[in-house]
Structure formats: C-alpha cells, structure tokens
C-alpha cells in the first residue's frame, strides 16, 4: 500500500509553528515511506479566508524546501485540491447520506437555534446543542416548510445509543459514548458550502489518504468522523494525533514554570515573523522537527534530506513538545556559522540594504565585514545592530579612550604606534589575522599589553567600547572615514596629555 498523507490548512491566517510542524511530520513520513505528500486547501470558511494567507502558505513551504506531490499549482489525479472548487462533490455526497437515511434536512431558523441555546444555558441543561427537532419530520411537514421558502441545512444522524471507537497510533483506542457526541451536526450549510467534517472526510477518502497526522486538539472530532465513514461505508484511514506545541511561562511572582499552548504571548509564532527576524529555513526546519519527535535522544542536527530518510511515527512523543525560543536561537547561530562567508554575505545583504547601510552594489564591503561578526550572529537581522558604529558619535570622551592602568600620555603613544601600523597594513592589504598578529608583536616590542593597543583603536574607530573587531569595522566603514576618526582621537589625547 502506498502511503498517502496530507497537509490541509485553512487559509485564514499566517502559517503558525504548530501547523508547520504538522506539515513537516506528514512530509517526512511520506518521504521516508516512499509515499505521496498532498497539499489541500480547506477554504470553505469564506468569512475568514484571505488571499494573503493562501500566499503565505505557499511561500512558507517553498522557503522551507517542502515540495508537495499533489495539490494546488502542481495538480494531480484528484483535482481540484481547493475545497471551494469541490462544492458539487460535497452536495452530491450529502444528498446520498439523506437518501440512505443517514442524514436529514433541517429547517430550523437561526432565531429558533439561538432561543434553544439560550434556554439550555438558562436551565443549565445537561444536554447542550441541537435538539434533533427536524430529525423525524414527515414528508408532508418537509413540503410545507419548503413552501415557506426556508432553505434547509443537512444534518448527520448521530446514533443516540452505544459508543464509537477509533484507534490512534500514539494514544491507542479512543472511545466516546454516542450520547456525548455533538448531536446531529450540520454537514451542508444552506448556502451549499460544507462544514469541516463533511468536506474533510469526503476529501480524505476520495484522495486516498492512508494516514492522518493532525494535532491532538482534533481528537474530539475523531468519533464523529468515524460515524461519517461508517455512514458512507468507507474504511477510515490510520490516525496519529500529534502532541501539542507548548510555550513556557514563568510566574513573575513565584517563579513557577507553567506550560500553555503556544501563542503570541510567548513570542513570535508565525513563520513569516521568524523569517523576517533572520532565522534560517534549515535551522527552523531542524528545530521544529524535534519538538515532539526524537531520533535517538542524542542526535540533534538533521538536514532535510536526512529527515526524509529517518523519520518514523514510533519516535513521536505522546507528551506535548515545548517550543524553546533560546534553543531555536542556538540552532540558528550554529547554522549561520556553517555558511561560507560568501553565502552569509548574500543572506545579510537585504538587511543592510533595507536599513540604508549599504547599497546593493557594495557587497564586497559586507564580505570583508562578515568574518569579524560571523561567530557573533544569532539572527541575520543582528547585523544591523552590529553596524551602529557607522553612525559617527562625534569626538570621543578622553576617559573612554584611556585603558585601565594607563594615562593620556601612554595611551597617545600606543594609539600613534597603532595608527601607523594599521595604515601601513591596510596599504599592504594585510589580512585581519596578519593585522592582529602584527599589532600584538608591536605591543610586545614597546612594552604594552595587547589591550593598550586594541582598546583605544576600537573606541577611536567605533565610538564604542564593545563592538565587532576593529579591523572588520574599518573594512565596512572605509579606510578614509576610519583614519579620520583615529586622527580625531589622537587629537583628543594630545589635548589631555
């Protein structure tokens, strides 16, 4: 049997980390089993649907390098893969259920349903939901209601006795008493659009889905879907409800740690936000795949190609996975350092251009800056903050130029020696390592500690006491501006000495 799985999001918002993890688990399982990964767009919620959300879906999967075998854009044997283009199919199958006595037309008005809901709440009735008022209407009663121009919905006949069970790979058998299942939910709305339950079951069956991997929050829908499969006489697919993605919360008073479903209060949750901040796709893909899944408990770094080979359902954890932003940052920093300087410069360039620091034609300046900041970057966007030194802070305060245990006169001598060496080194096109080694040797020859040479140089060039390496700063800033600042600092020290 060919494994066929699907990712079926509703384009009503940006792609969330939890949804993306579901997509990745489905995709990797399909690849590991030599099966098919299907993308289906469940866009029947027309009030919340947006073109922006649909485009974000496509952009997110493309950015992560996830290619679907069947679905929108690429096509496939079960087109269309967009639910709003499949309305006739749902209407046909809903009517079949009515004809088989498994569903029925309901003519209850919104006003009646609102009154029913209010009454149940006021009386604190143990039975909540629809009261099956139209379940046993006679043909004559139906005809009379239709004469009044009421457009009916179609409701599923949920058994009132017994129980319904389905098996989940992680959770085992899950049973629910039929009396506790939502009473006779709507399958087809009066406007001809299906509800989630009907469209989901029909599409999964018609598209040959063999395994359904979705969040555990969908477990309550499981029995209802099984009843639908049984009503049609279809074999249900294999279920695997994935553990929730949780965020960590620390009580500011007690310091106690709590966990709750990941939301914006924990930090960014949409992939678009992570992408804008400068997370790499390979880092996000790697880390998110480990939230609730583990290969051997030790190996942490996986390429997409490796996960396509080793992913398996048996290694999914039953317990919720915790999304650790600090661990993701660590992953991202590691992946940044795996890049060549050329690759990293290409990734950083858009941030520099958007911040107005560089022009698109000035990549070589950035390339010269990259070696000095590569080990310091956590996010690609950090490079903008690291370039604060480019803004001239004006004449530096003399106390900032003078290192500990030195005075203005000795600092002046050290900076003059440093400046002469740096000018000569740049003229001879020395590398940063050659400049550093040469300056250390010069310090030793003149009885200075290394800090006596490097610290005044850093402050003179950047106006800061903490910055990227001074030689990297000079290369990005340009020799002319850097040397002007050094000469200005020397003048400040002369005035003090």
Nearest of 146, 150, 176, 151 to residue 161 by alpha carbon: 176
DSSP string, 397-417: PHHHHSPTT--HHHHHHHHHH
Please confirm, yes or no, whether 264 is among the known catalytic residues. Answer: yes
Contacts of 296 (CB under 8 A, 6+ apart): none
Euclidean distance between CA atoms 413 and 255, whole angstroms? 53
What are the angstrom distances between the C-alpha of 441 and each of 410, 413, 445, 449? 17, 16, 6, 10
Catalytic residue among 96, 119, 261, 264: 264
Query: Do residues 175 and 167 make contact, with C-beta atoms less than 8 angstroms apart?
Result: no
Number of Cβ within 10 Å of residue 151's Cβ equals 11
Q: Which residues contact 70 (CB under 8 A, 6 or more apart)?
A: 36, 38, 39, 76, 77, 78, 81, 207
> Residue 226: CA atoms inside 13 Å, Cβ hemisphere, count?
22
- The Cβ of residue 159 has, within 10 Å, a number of other Cβ atoms equal to 13
Q: Where are the alpha helices (DSSP H) in 253-362?
A: 271-277, 281-289, 304-310, 325-337, 341-354
Report, as residue numbers or ranges, the catalytic residues.
264
């Amino acid at each position: 049997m060919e494994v066929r799985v699907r990712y079926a999001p509703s384009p009503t918002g940006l792609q969330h980390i939890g949804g993306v993890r579901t997509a990745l688990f489905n995709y990797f399982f399909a690849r590991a089993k030599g099966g098919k990964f299907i993308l289906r767009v469940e866009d029947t919620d027309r009030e919340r649907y947006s073109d922006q959300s649909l485009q974000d879906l496509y952009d997110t999967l493309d950015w992560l390098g996830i290619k679907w075998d069947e679905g929108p854009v690429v096509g496939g044997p079960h087109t269309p893969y967009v639910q709003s283009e499949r309305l006739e199919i749902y209407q046909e199958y809903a009517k079949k259920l009515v004809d088989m006595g498994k569903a029925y037309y309901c003519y209850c008005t919104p006003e009646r349903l609102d009154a029913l809901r209010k009454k149940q709440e006021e009386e604190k009735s143990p039975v909540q939901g629809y009261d099956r008022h139209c379940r046993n209407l006679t043909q004559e009663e139906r005809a009379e209601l239709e004469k009044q121009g009421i457009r009916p919905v179609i409701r599923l006949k949920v058994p009132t006795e017994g129980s319904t069970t389905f098996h989940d790979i992680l959770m085992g058998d899950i049973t629910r008493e039929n009396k506790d299942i939502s009473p006779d939910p709507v399958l087809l709305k009066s406007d001809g659009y299906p509800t989630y339950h009907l469209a989901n079951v029909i599409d999964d069956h018609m598209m040959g889905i063999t395994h359904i991997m979705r969040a555990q929050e969908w477990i309550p829908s499981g029995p209802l879907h099984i009843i639908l499969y049984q009503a049609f006489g279809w074999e249900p697919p294999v279920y695997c409800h994935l553990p929730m993605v949780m965020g960590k919360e620390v009580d500011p008073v007690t310091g106690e740690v709590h966990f709750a479903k990941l939301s914006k209060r924990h930090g960014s949750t949409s992939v678009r936000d992570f992408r804008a901040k400068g997370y790499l796709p390979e880092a996000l893909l790697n880390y998110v795949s480990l939230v609730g899944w583990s290969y051997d408990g030790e190996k942490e770094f996986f390429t997409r190609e490796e996960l396509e080979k080793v992913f398996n359902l048996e290694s999914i954890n039953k317990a919720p996975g915790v999304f650790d932003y600090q661990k993701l940052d660590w992953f991202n920093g590691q992946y940044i350092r795996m890049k060549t300087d050329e690759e990293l410069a290409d990734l950083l360039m858009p941030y520099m251009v958007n911040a107005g620091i560089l022009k698109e034609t000035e990549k070589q300046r950035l390339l010269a800056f990259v070696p000095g900041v590569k080990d310091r970057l956590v996010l690609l966007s950090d490079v903008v903050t690291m370039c604060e030194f480019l803004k001239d802070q004006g004449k530096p305060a003399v106390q900032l130029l003078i290192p500990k245990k030195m005075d203005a006169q000795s600092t002046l001598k050290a900076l003059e020696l440093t400046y002469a060496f740096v000018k000569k080194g740049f003229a001879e096109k020395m590398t940063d390592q050659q400049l550093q080694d040469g300056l250390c040797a010069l310090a030793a020859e003149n009885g200075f500690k290394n800090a006596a040479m490097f610290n005044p140089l850093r402050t003179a060039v950047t106006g800061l006491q903490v910055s990227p390496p001074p030689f990297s700063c000079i290369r990005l800033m340009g020799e002319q501006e850097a040397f002007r600042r050094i000469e200005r600092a020397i003048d400040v020290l002369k005035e003090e000495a």
